[in-house]
Amino acid sequence: MTDPLIPAVLAFRDNGTPYSPLYNDIYHSAVGSLEQAQYVFLRGNALPGRWQGRRVFTVLETGFGMGINFLMTWAAWRADPERCARLHFVSTEKHPFTQADLRSVCAKTIPDPEIASLAAMLADAWPMLVPGSHRLEFDGGQVTLTLIFGDAAATLPVLRLRADAFYLDGFAPARNPDIWSPAIFKSLARLAGEEATFSTYSSAGEIKRALLQNGFVYQKIDGFGWKRAMLAGHFSPRWRVRRYEPPAPLAVDERHAIVIGTGLAGCAAIERLTARGWRVTSLERHAAVARGASGNPAGVFHPLISRDDSVASRITRAGFLYALRRWEALERLDGGKRLRSDAGLLQIASDDAEAHAIREAIERFGYPSGYVHAVDAGEAQRLAGTPLARGGSFFPHGGWVDPAALCASQCAAAGDLLTRRFDAEVGRLERIDNQWSVFDTAGQLLGRAPVVIVASAHEAARLASLRYAPTRSIRGQLSLLPPGSVAPLALPVIGDGYAVPLADGVTLTGATYELDDPDATLRPDGHRENIERVIAMLPGFQRNLDSAHIANLDGRVAFRCVTSDRMPMIGQLADETAAARDAQRLRGAWPLDLTRSEGLYGAFAYGSRGLVWATLGAELLASQIEGEPWPLTQDLAEDIDPARFLIRALRQGTVS
């Protein structure tokens, strides 16, 4: 179970140096925070020289604190004309500052105007204080900060990245021994790239021993300020210290990808790849984008709250927060035009027991009110503007989006790097000469590229020839209630059903849930079911809806693709033929043991959570392709790995 976050307490020593009352230690030397970062961490890792001429360079820090090391690294990158194309900075923090305290401490302690300006940008982008990964982008995505809020002892072992430099900057070993434990250094060795460097202000004997035991070579050099000595060195193991190598970029002759499908999954992948300079060809069997389930008039988005902070809750939380940041960036590109509603979203509990359980979960995890807060029936009625059956949860940043508009915005952001082909019915894929060839149903070549992303929902498993991908189809019928037919709503309300007030006065309700039902025609019974579920949540909802009105309602039928565990399929696809050949050896396999289909990736089976999963899923795919730090921890990525069902079959001995 995820532990709740406990924010840092902002305090100052008599000399004005910020310190932590929890650890009774200072955040930086009283001699100067900027000078310390420059001397100990940039100079100690031979930066900026080591990132010059590199496409991607990754720094991993233990202990984000005030963010001074990140700000100084960012400033050095900006000032370097030979800088790497993309700088990744990954940092863990068990006790992050609140946004207000971060602004305050930076304003009081950063004298340099340039660094203060960067600190203001960091504070503006500062994430909500909820556990997990938070990916922030600066300078058009060329500088990426991935913050991991949680205990480093728990989070470092599940990071997936290749570090080029380590900033070891926790509180002093005597004050915070946990962040200098042997297990921490073992995790660092697992993540180190070839010749990765490290530096730390500390020169304690236990740190030297832990470094040597895990394959690092160190030098003792002059310390900063009043410190007599510090350590710097590099990763150079004399023996094998890890089972798996850290991720590397896919070796390609040309940065060109084919994306099959232009719904939420496909368009998000297009935007994330082209943002990194990839050329993308999209193939769509319809005449326009977002014609399948992504073509619904609106879709709701919100986090998922559970008493045990389940895998689905953690992935949805990360996806929700990352999607909000990416949508804001798209809105800025489009002159500030909003893609989504902004009044929040209300989730009504199905009964009093559920309302109590959700309230307990919100209190247990200490979620900030800007993320979610429990509301009683009276407060819920005030928010919705109509009587409600009971209270529930309010998500201030939840709401609804027009999926087709979002897809169009993502494709527009790709600009000239995107080539679109419509009415292209893909029949099969074939690997030829280190590239994937994509053929239509008549056998004609549609395109060739070293990378293919299959984002075509129900067709994805067939196109990728996956036997171990148990997807099914869910028929969902939506109902569109004309203006004046029902009581007006101030915001979307969801529960056992949902009601979404659209901009034109129409209210969207839905959706039915019918397994493996291929009928695409509207049914009066489906409209009636949708309305009855909404009335159970909103007793005053029904106004002018008799049987005649219901029979003539407009609506839409769409088919959602789901897996048997209701989690999406996102990641590089496994080579099932190779797995079958080595089935006996792979009986106890882990995902990293599998041979993967080179250059072939999947993004499908998003069910009803495409809006909160698609953008994060696309960032995960792009990170895997580019060899960048993953935006999700490895354990969560494995829970949505398309190979997870193959792994289960191998362990059960049913792969032949």
Say if residue 556 is in the same domain as residue 581.
Answer: no
Summarize the confidence of residues 374-392 as an average pLDDT: 92
pLDDT of residue 401: 96
Burial of 239 (0-12, 13-18, 19+ CB in 10 A): exposed
As given in the structure block, the two tokens for residue 81 are 């004309």
pLDDT of residue 547: 63
d(CA 280, CA 257): 5
Residue 174 scores a pLDDT above 90? no
Q: Where are the alpha helices (DSSP H) in 437-480?
A: 460-463
CATH of the domain at 546: 3.30.9.10
Say if residue 501 is in the same domain as residue 559.
Answer: yes
Q: Which residues pair with 395 in a beta bridge?
A: 345
DSSP three-state, residue 179: helix
pLDDT of residue 544: 59
Say if residue 569 is in the same domain as residue 555.
Answer: no
Say if residue 494 is in the same domain as residue 423.
Answer: no
Residue 241 scores a pLDDT above 90? no
Q: Is 561 left (phi over 0), alpha (psi -120 to 50) or beta?
A: beta
Say if residue 552 is in the same domain as residue 574.
Answer: no
* Domain annotation covers residue 249: no
Summarize the confidence of residues 205-212 as an average pLDDT: 94
Task: Return the half-sphere exposure (C-beta side, CA atoms, 13 A cut-off) of residue 577.
Answer: 3
DSSP three-state, residue 515: strand
pLDDT band (50, 70, 90) for residue 389:
confident
Instruction: Write phi, then psi, for 575 (nearest 5 degrees).
Output: -85, 95
Boundary of a domain, candidates 515, 537, 563? 563
Tens-place pLDDT, residues 447-481: 999 999 999 999 999 999 999 999 999 999 999 99
Say if residue 453 is in the same domain as residue 491.
Answer: no
Q: Which residues pair with 348 in a beta bridge?
A: 392
pLDDT band (50, 70, 90) for residue 172:
confident
The shares of helix, strand and coil residues in the chain, as percent rounded to the nearest 5, are 35, 25, 40
Tens-place pLDDT, residues 583-618: 999 999 999 999 999 999 999 999 999 999 999 999
pLDDT of residue 105: 94
Say if residue 522 is in the same domain as residue 640.
Answer: no
**Cβ pair 211, 231 in contact under 8 A:** yes
Instruction: Write phi, then psi, for 196 (nearest 5 degrees).
Output: -60, 140
CATH of the domain at 410: 3.50.50.60
Summarize the confidence of residues 75-87 as an average pLDDT: 98
Say if residue 488 is in the same domain as residue 588.
Answer: no
Residue 648 scores a pLDDT above 60? yes
d(CA 509, CA 531): 7
pLDDT of residue 552: 85
Dmax over CA atoms of the chain, in Å, equals 86
* Domain annotation covers residue 230: yes
CATH of the domain at 20: 3.40.50.150
Q: Which residues pair with 315 in a beta bridge?
A: none
d(CA 125, CA 96): 14
Burial of 161 (0-12, 13-18, 19+ CB in 10 A): buried
* Domain annotation covers residue 337: no
* Domain annotation covers residue 52: yes
Say if residue 529 is in the same domain as residue 460.
Answer: no
Residue 1 scores a pLDDT above 60? no
Say if residue 153 is in the same domain as residue 34.
Answer: yes
What stretch of H or E contains 476? strand 471-481
**Average pLDDT score over the chain:** 94
Number of domains in the chain: 3
Tens-place pLDDT, residues 288-334: 999 988 889 999 999 999 999 999 999 999 999 999 999 999 999 98
Summarize the confidence of residues 382-400 as an average pLDDT: 94
Tens-place pLDDT, residues 488-540: 899 999 999 999 999 889 999 989 999 999 999 999 999 999 999 998 888 87
Burial of 116 (0-12, 13-18, 19+ CB in 10 A): middle
Q: Which residues pair with 235 in a beta bridge?
A: 216
Summarize the confidence of residues 70-77 as an average pLDDT: 98
Residue reference for tokens 């009971």: 390
Q: Is 640 left (phi over 0), alpha (psi -120 to 50) or beta?
A: alpha
Boundary of a domain, candidates 563, 580, 608? 563
d(CA 652, CA 646): 10
Summarize the confidence of residues 62-75 as an average pLDDT: 96
Summarize the confidence of residues 334-353 as an average pLDDT: 91
* pTM across the whole model: 0.96
* Domain annotation covers residue 584: yes
pLDDT band (50, 70, 90) for residue 14:
confident
Amino acid in position 483: P
Boundary of a domain, candidates 534, 563, 592? 563
Say if residue 128 is in the same domain as residue 223.
Answer: yes
DSSP three-state, residue 59: strand
Contacts of 295 (CB under 8 A, 6+ apart): 263, 403, 404, 556, 558
Residue 95 scores a pLDDT above 70? yes
Say if residue 433 is in the same domain as residue 494.
Answer: no
591-620 burial: b if 16+ Cβ within 10 Å, else e = beebebbbbbbbbbbbbbbbbbbbbbbbbb
Tens-place pLDDT, residues 539-559: 877 665 666 578 789 999 999
Domain extent at residue 265? 256-292+404-470+564-652
Q: Which residues pair with 500 in a beta bridge?
A: 508
